[in-house]
Amino acid sequence: MDEQLLRTISAAREDVLARIAAAAKSAGRDPASVRLVAVSKVQPPDRIEAMWAAGQRVFGENRVQEARERWSARREAGEDFELRLIGPLQTNKAREAVGFFDAIETLDRPKLAGALADAAAKLGRAPRLMVQVNTGEEDQKAGVFPREADAFIASVRTDYGLTPEGLMCIPPADEPAGPHFALLAKIAARNGLDQLSMGMSADFETGVMFGATSVRVGSALFGERKAH
Ligand SMILES: *Cc1c(COP(=O)(O)O)cnc(C)c1O
């Protein structure tokens, strides 16, 4: 273990945790009600080792294959940690994802709901689920549009027998995040969902202010990513 790297990564984690706690307190919330998801996609193994050594046990990954390469050994060793899929999921990888992840945050279409339900039945394993909402209605982004969200959530429950626990969003990069987080919280509340995955390195404190129960933080914890 590179001691210098461990110090740097530990300090970054402590800083992010302190900022989450401060944002929670100023919003009148219990800091323990916000979970830090360390987004480890693309990060080199030594940084992930350091984050693990710093005590972090909840990680987010964008791609099924990459996640398996990075985390299978720890899974097989019986280590206790939580892995969340936060990137788009292709239907033909649903089974692999259900078998590997503890939570899938990117449920956003009926076909995927069907594939996840089938896989859960076959594997006897049901990761927690979140519905991704495309709050900015951006063409290039995954997620159901806000006006479709209520019907989609109802269909996920009744047609596919799935029980999503909450909602996730990625606001447009060029807009203030607050209104998007507020919209996500409103959609969740009217659908009886109490988990909100919102906020990244640039805006996790805003996420906490608007009720995030988990924030997905990559570069502020690990340092900048190299391009995929
Ligand atoms: C990469 C990614 C993050 C983390 O982004 P940072 O800006 O590095 O914190 C969070 N959520 C999703 C869905 C991502 O793809």
Other Cβ atoms within 10 Å of 74 Cβ, number: 15
Nearest to 164 by CA among 203, 136, 186, 197: 197
Residue extents of the structural domains in the chain: 3-221
User: Quick one: tokens of 10?
Assistant: 């530990």
Of ligand 1's atoms, which has the minimum distance to the CA of residue 202? 7
Binding site membership of 149 for ligand 1 (Cβ less than 6 Å):
no
* pLDDT exceeds 70 at position 228: no
38-77 pLDDT, tens digit each: 999 999 999 999 999 999 999 999 999 999 999 999 999 9
Strand partners, 144: 133
Assigned CATH for 3-221: 3.20.20.10
Residue having the nearest C-alpha atom to atom 13 of ligand 1: 86
Residue having the nearest C-alpha atom to atom 5 of ligand 1: 218
67-109 pLDDT, tens digit each: 999 999 999 999 999 999 999 999 999 999 999 999 999 999 9
Residue having the nearest C-alpha atom to atom 11 of ligand 1: 216
Binding site membership of 86 for ligand 1 (Cβ less than 6 Å):
yes
pLDDT band at 226 (very low <50, low <70, confident <90, very high): confident
Binding site membership of 198 for ligand 1 (Cβ less than 6 Å):
no
pTM over 0.95: yes
pLDDT band at 227 (very low <50, low <70, confident <90, very high): low
Residue indicated by tokens 């997620």: 143
Residue having the nearest C-alpha atom to atom 10 of ligand 1: 216
82, 74 contact by CB (below 8 A) = no
Note the pLDDT of residue 48.
97
Secondary structure class of 22 (helix, strand, coil): helix
